[in-house]
Amino acid sequence: MIGRRAALGLIGGAAGATLLPGGLAAKPARKPPRLRSGDTVGLVAPASAITLPDELDRALHWITGMGLVPRLGAHVSERDGYLAGTDAARAADVDAMFADPEVRAVFAIRGGWGCARILPLLDWKAIAANPKLLIGYSDNTALHCAIAARAGFPTLHAPNAASRWERASWESLWRIAFAGATPVLGGEAVEAAVGRPARAVVPGTAQGRLFGGNLTILSTLMGTGWLPDLTGAVLLLEDINEEPYRVDRMLQHLRLAGVFDRVAGVVFGQCTRCDLRDPDYEGFTLDEVLDRHFAGLQVPVIAGFDTGHVTDQLCLPVGVRVELDAAARTLRMLEPAVA
């Protein structure tokens, strides 16, 4: 007899099919093409304005250093308050990159805030018809989730184009996006190299599609219709500048929404600057908050995985089937992210 959690994993295995109205399953979406040296890639600013003096130059430096040819969105240098241009302008840049047959992948230059604002404006029919790796993290979680829900093809939770592309980030990008490999991500060697040990909150293994990203954005999207079905998923979470009580509040939001009853496992990455350093602070630490939410779950859970607002973060394949081994603190890809 198949147990409840095993059944969730089997359900998650079928989650690549797009659901049509009435619950009928369409054919699985095509996978994005793999990257090759000399490929043209789009650079867009779907969220906050590019304000640092060298931010755009830094993005161009990293992308050309990868052997790729950057193509800037028409509106990346615009500003509308704290946003990189109007919602319509930012959406038009994303649409243009997915529609352009010469563009093989789309990099977000930065995160911040604003991606959720453009979701209703995007041409989802055209995006679904032209699968390409969207590469970025933080606020770009909204785009990763929406593409998983509305288009069904894999994307990469990875440094933004203007982030620092250190060794672990670049090597994982190359293996996933260029070589089309199915690597084991994380583990003791990576933890030692970056100096950030992870820990198994709940040991065990689980398989499912990897969904998620930034905890703040994910919790904000709950109930909006822009999230993929998380049943049987391996849930990815990370954040920055959130005090323990705020992390507690957002995790409780997910708990009350039934998310933790449906997932096959949880990978909690780095929560940068999320522990208070006030010597008089008498509340819970971040680790205590995580343990209180996750230690009682009957699914594998890792905390401190190498992803989030840190240097040398790993590129992780959103929407791809993975195997989580909590004791080893690894994610093993079970299928390529690209064709």
Kindly list the catalytic residues. Answer: 138, 238, 309
Closest-CA residue to 271 (of 299, 302, 237, 235): 237
Q: Which residues are registered as beta bridge partners of 235? A: 211, 266
Beta bridge partners of 202: 301
For residue 185, the tally of other CB atoms under 10 A from its CB is 25
Distance from C-alpha of 197 to C-alpha of 212, rounded to nearest angstrom:
21
Beta-bridge partners for 40: 69, 103
Beta carbons within 8 Å of 200's beta carbon, 6+ residues apart: 300, 301, 302, 326, 327, 329
Answer whether 93's CB lies under 8 Å from 74's CB: yes
Q: What are the Cα distances from residue 161, in Å, to 28, 45, 210, 297?
A: 29, 10, 22, 36
Query: The tokens of 97 are what?
Result: 């990159």
What is the distance, to the nearest Å, from the Cα of residue 95 to the centroid of all Cα atoms in its chain?
Answer: 20
Q: Which of 160, 63, 170, 178 is nearest to 112 (CA)?
A: 160
Q: Rounded to whole angstroms, how far apart are CA atoms 110 and 205?
A: 33
Is the CB of residue 137 less than 8 Å from the CB of residue 109? no
Please calculate the CA angle 112-115-317 and round it to the nearest 5 degrees.
90
Task: List b or e across 196-205, with b for residues whose CB sees 16 or more CB atoms inside 10 angstroms.
Answer: bebbbbbebe
Alpha carbon of residue 193 to chain centroid: 22
